[in-house]
Structure 1
Amino acid sequence: VIEGRARTVEAAVHELGDYLIGQDPSRINDLWQVMYRAGFYRGGPILMSAIAGIDQALWDIKGKVLNSPVWQLMGGLVRDKIKAYSWVGGDRPANVIDGIKILREIGFDTFKLNGCEELGLIDNSRAVDAAVNTVAQIREAFGNQIEFGLDFHGRVSAPMAKVLIKELEPYRPLFIEEPVLAEQAEYYPKLAAQTHIPLAAGERMFSRFDFKRVLEAGGISILQPDLSHAGGITECYKIAGMAEAYDVTLAPHCPLGPIALAACLHIDFVSYNAVLQEQSMGIHYNKGAELLDFVKNKEDFSMVGGFFKP
């Protein structure tokens, strides 16, 4: 569901259920098209999140009926493992450094961090200096032993984004995510032309038609569709193919739990241009309970050397 809009998405699922109940669940493509196209209004975070949840359930049903993993049903493996990176909570450098140390002990060497404290706006030179200082402290603490991307959640004003990205270059972040909002995507080609740091975006784009515009415009090097918000496995596989045609890599967005992560991994294992998989298990949810308490095959989520395997 959309974070903060769970009941709204639930209502959309019930509305779609009026059509779905009694249909053949094996006709995933047909059902998807009807869910998307039958209404006068299409797209957006609510409808596409509802479709995403249903789509993942349909693929799960098909896999269980045929006793086959979803990646096998989608044509088979294109790789035997995918590099994982972990979100690190915390807004202060000391907290981030402590979080990285803990995650390194369980095998991670690649991370994603908040780009600014308390997710504040970066709209002046002082805010730029503060963000750069945070990154400098983290790089100083670990040197080149780790890689990290920086997520600004679209909170950088367009004029300051040029300044900020230039100041970050000496610290060699793996990528800069959402320096500006998705609705300001026209800035991505301009920003990309002024830096060698890859720019990443996609979590707030909800269909291949949203991604079509940014791919045509250029500027984004790493596409990050969220399988729980962008129409599920069916739609995100198409988005991955579109990105490949533009020589853009794929790193599915996944700040959620094991079911969402499993869906992402199936896309990673069949998409040629997939390079990284985010995971945030244990960070934001399931407090007070065992992390995988509702998962039957817990071993599927074990990592080996910082990689997930099929």
Structure 2
Amino acid sequence: MKITRFETFAVPPRWLMCRIETDDGLVGWGEPVVEGRADTVRTAVHELADQFLIGADPLRVEDHWQLMTKGSFYRGGPVLSSAVAGLDQALWDIAGQAYDAPVHQLLGGPVRERVRAYCWVGGDEPAELRDQIAEQAAAGFTAVKMNGAGRTNRLPTVAELDGIAARASVAREVLGPEGDFAVDFHGRFTVAGAVRAAAALEPYGPMFVEEPVLPEYTHRIGRVVESTTTPVATGERLYSRTEVLPALRSGVAVVQPDLSHAGGISESRRIASLAETFDALVAPHCPLGPIALAASLQLAFCTPNFLIQEQSIGIHYNNGSELLDYVADPEVFRFHAGHFARPTLPGLGVRIDEKAVRAADGSAASWHNPVWRHGDGSFAEW
């Protein structure tokens, strides 16, 4: 079996998909994207596929991963790693179809029969937070995630700390003692600011506080870990085992590889195994499309130290298009009391609606994240 063709599709709201075809008719799908840099990643996907994949045996998944990540002198970074990630997903999709098994079966088999999921409920502007959380709880979700603050000073004021605590208080009140909420700081604070913000959250028992400092300050995240009883999570902007290792050595409780950024299924699987040696849990980052979610679920079902799965069905980013718009059979993503059931179809376990993908390709302008500024005009973390 040989790879004969590959294509990429930029589809609304902000996703990039890739399609790999073989000479015996098998087709694999992947989702290689950096949000806000889809066009750049698309170029990298074509460069990698042209150089390493056309004419090759698709079942040599590990060998392809090694070549795509190490076959050039300049390596790493989110663009290259995300390009590799989508192609890796597509290769695993083909492998599962060739062996007539879901990917999680090829990785050792399932360790659970359902996967707990959470949904995002805002938090930048807290006015509607109570209703948003109540709506998700009524839909059967037992966990949500929200931003700890909107635009904020890197060293938060007393008023900003009070706002963080007020959001957490609402979440705990609505969810009760049995529910969980996670708080995302998006690296908006300094180390000292994150310590103060974590202290403000502690009375409300969040499941974890996410990305309290920027990834470039991972070597300092241990200061936050040591300051609080709240579990600390990070990893959506870390793209390899070597980048995750300092966070684990600093004592983070949860790592969050994004399977469309961190080298795909192959590297995210290794990140999860590395985390297990530090007694850390895995909660894959996934505010993306159906292929990224399908790949994440394959990892979740075969990972002993898995915690919870992010998913973007109905998220506010999905303006003009929705995750399920590109799925031929949405049943695989149906929620059962806030959980996903184990997929049984071969490969990634999801059937992509190719007609819908082709029709949507190029139909939306490139998405870029907002740029925030402080009151004095200086740059603010989004």
Alignment RMSD:
1.6
2:18 aligned with 1:14 = no
Q: How does 1:281-300 map to 2 (within 5 A)?
A: 281-289=313-321, 291-300=323-332
Paired residue for 2:207?
A: 174
- In structure 1, what residue type is equivalent to 2:299? I
2:211 aligned with 1:205 = no
Paired residue for 1:267?
A: 299
State the distance in 2 between where 1:283 and 1:143 align.
23
Q: How does 1:208-219 map to 2 (within 5 A)?
A: 208-215=241-248, 217-219=249-251
Specify every segment of 5 or more residues in structure 2 that has no aligned partner in the other structure, as ranges. Answer: 1-32, 343-382
Q: Helix, strand or coil for the counterpart of 1:225?
A: coil
Check conservation: 2:156, 2:197, Cα contact below 8 A: no
Check conservation: 2:282, 2:306, Cα contact below 8 A: yes
Q: 1:142 to 1:241 in 2, by over 3 A?
A: closer
What is the CA deviation profile of residues 147-197 of structure 1, one whole-angstrom value per residue up to 9, with x for unaligned ones?
100000000122222222112111111110011111111222222112110
State the distance in 2 between where 1:193 and 1:239 align.
23
Check conservation: 2:186, 2:214, Cα contact below 8 A: yes
Q: Helix, strand or coil for the counterpart of 1:89?
A: coil
Q: Helix, strand or coil for the counterpart of 1:268?
A: helix
State the distance in 1 between where 2:92 and 2:66 align.
15
Larger fraction in helix: 1
- Of 256, 275, 288 in structure 1, the residue corresponding to residue 288 of structure 2 is 256
Check conservation: 2:123, 2:148, Cα contact below 8 A: no
Q: How does 1:70-89 map to 2 (within 5 A)?
A: 70-89=103-122
Q: Helix, strand or coil for the counterpart of 1:22?
A: coil
Q: Helix, strand or coil for the counterpart of 2:244?
A: helix
What is the CA deviation profile of residues 197-249 of structure 1, one whole-angstrom value per residue up to 9, with x for unaligned ones?
0000000000111112222x222100100000000001100111000011111
Paired residue for 1:158?
A: 191
Larger fraction in strand: 2
State the distance in 1 between where 2:197 and 2:38 align.
35
State the distance in 1 between where 2:289 and 2:127 align.
26
State the distance in 2 between where 1:270 and 1:194 align.
33
Paired residue for 2:60?
A: 27
Q: Helix, strand or coil for the counterpart of 2:259?
A: coil
Shift of 1:291: 4.3
Q: How does 1:1-310 map to 2 (within 5 A)?
A: 1-19=33-51, 20-117=53-150, 119-126=151-158, 127-144=160-177, 146-215=179-248, 217-289=249-321, 291-310=323-342
Specify every segment of 5 or more residues in structure 1 that has no aligned partner in the other structure, as ranges. Answer: none
- In structure 1, what residue type is equivalent to 2:118? Y
Runs of 4+ in 1 over 6 A off after TM superposition: none
State the distance in 1 between where 2:321 and 2:222 align.
44
Check conservation: 2:134, 2:174, Cα contact below 8 A: no
Check conservation: 1:155, 1:180, Cα contact below 8 A: yes
Check conservation: 1:86, 1:111, Cα contact below 8 A: yes
State the distance in 2 between where 1:44 and 1:280 align.
24
- In structure 1, what residue type is equivalent to 2:187? G
State the distance in 1 between where 2:326 and 2:197 align.
42
What TM-score comes out, normalization by structure 2 length?
A: 0.77
State the distance in 2 between where 1:17 and 1:133 align.
49
Q: Helix, strand or coil for the counterpart of 2:144?
A: strand
Check conservation: 1:71, 1:267, Cα contact below 8 A: yes
State the distance in 1 between where 2:164 and 2:148 align.
6
What TM-score comes out, normalization by structure 1 length?
A: 0.94
State the distance in 2 between where 1:93 and 1:239 align.
34
Moved more, 140-149 or 272-281: 140-149
State the distance in 2 between where 1:59 and 1:69 align.
9
Moved more, 106-115 or 143-152: 143-152
Q: 1:284 to 1:60 in 2, by over 3 A?
A: farther
